Amino acid sequence: MESGESNSGNARRIISKDSSWCSQFRNASNPWMARYAYALIFLVANLLAWAARDYGRGALTEMKRLKGCNGGKDCLDAEGVLRVSLGCFIFYIIMFLSTARTSKLNNVRDTWHSGWWSVKIALWVVTTVIPFLLPSEFIQIYGEVAHFGAGVFLLIQLISIISFITWLNECCESEKYPASCQIHVMLFATTAYVVCLVGIILMYIWYAPKPSCLLNIFFITWTLVLLQLMTSVSLHPKVDAGILTPGLMGLYVVFLCWCAIRSEPAGENCIRKSDSANKTDWLSIISFVVGILAIVIATFSTGIDSKCFQFRKDDTPPAEDDVPYGYGFFHFVFATGAMYFAMLLIGWNTHRPMRKWTIDVGWTSTWVRIVNEWLAVCVYLWILIAPIIWNSRHTDST
């Protein structure tokens, strides 16, 4: 029995090494290739949700035949987005439940994760159609739950980004090439701080042109204060975390502040927009496409970063037949990402219509971004301070 499983595993590794990507994908031998298939399904779900929101009225005649659509009007706009999102969520939750705690390559759950694509595509189609048969009241309940799920996704993404920044700093401070690493650290840190300051200056020029723009001035000024706070804490002698991590975190919080202000409604006088701002132009379309791709890429990159959520570090080298990433965590991130893209497409408001080719626009979206920025700084500072507090309490107790 054991020799049979060993031969099966060896044969599978031979396929992975010698076969093309297409044959590996067909033979369910490459979980790395499977990631891209799941990301493609997620991208198609995003596009379906956008189509239901912006162009769903063209399908009004067909939707009248569906029970839960109430003559078609409940399957359009924000509710249409929520129905597509629910179908995507159900699909990835099923995948999460069926692949969680998979640890080895040569078992049934690994094969299910990496193969059986005809069955999974049929499953995705079914889970996409089912929400359109549900009553409107159920979809509204899902819309409220999706606020929470999207928040969970943002928290997971935040921890993943901070973990990556910390890992990058540790790599740059490695003792293998100390001289060259110090030069790289100073170069990257200087570049990060210059970009942060330029970004803040441009936000003052573009989004706070008048003294009456108090809210935008507060957002931008507080971002500058947070950047200074992160730098001061990181360079404190007791912390000594270097200058690179606060610079990279500064890029992230400045980006979040910019996204928050950009999410303000188009009619605000403090945001400089062209006279054609109320019309759909090529810049709006490009921004929308970039936004959709950013959602998919963020979900994809966060989904394979399960190691940053391990509370206990395991220095044991992985075995040859260990899975390359956590399958269950990967699908869970995509499930919460389905809720997240729904919130972006409806502006975190299930009762307000959105203009065509827009994404993440509205005051709710603005405050979600701002709170996310402040939370990012709090989590980063806690990561810096927590070891000192822990060590001091441990010393006092002994």
Stretch (H or E) spanning 283: helix 282-303
pLDDT of residue 210: 86
Residue 7 placed within a domain: no
Structural domain that includes position 372: 25-308+321-389
The DSSP line for 9-26 is: HHHHHHHHHHS-HHHHHH
Contact between 109 and 99 (Cβ < 8 Å): yes
pLDDT of residue 347: 85
Residue 302 placed within a domain: yes
Contact between 80 and 52 (Cβ < 8 Å): yes
What's this model's pTM, rounded to 2 decimal places?
A: 0.80
Residue 396 placed within a domain: no
Contact between 347 and 361 (Cβ < 8 Å): yes
pLDDT of residue 390: 82
pLDDT of residue 10: 45
Residue 2 placed within a domain: no
The Cα 336–Cα 40 span in angstroms is: 16
Residue 16 placed within a domain: no
Q: What backbone torsions phi and psi does residue 104 show, to the nearest 5 degrees? A: -120, 150
Residue 395 placed within a domain: no
The Cα 317–Cα 304 span in angstroms is: 18
| Counted domains in the chain | 1
pLDDT of residue 17: 46
Residue 207 placed within a domain: yes
Mean pLDDT by 10 residues, the chain (398 residues): 43 45 56 88 91 70 54 64 94 94 84 90 95 89 92 89 82 64 83 95 90 92 96 89 90 93 77 49 66 78 64 62 85 93 86 74 90 94 88 69
CA angle 105, 335, 321 (to 5 degrees): 10
Residue 38 placed within a domain: yes
pLDDT of residue 284: 61
The Cα 329–Cα 92 span in angstroms is: 11
Torsion angle in degrees (nearest 10) through CA of 87, 90, 92, 98: -150
The Cα 317–Cα 358 span in angstroms is: 46
pLDDT of residue 361: 82
Locate 56 and state its tokens: 């769903």
For 76, 254, 291, 325, 375, the CA distances from 198, given in Å and listed in that order, are 42, 10, 23, 38, 23
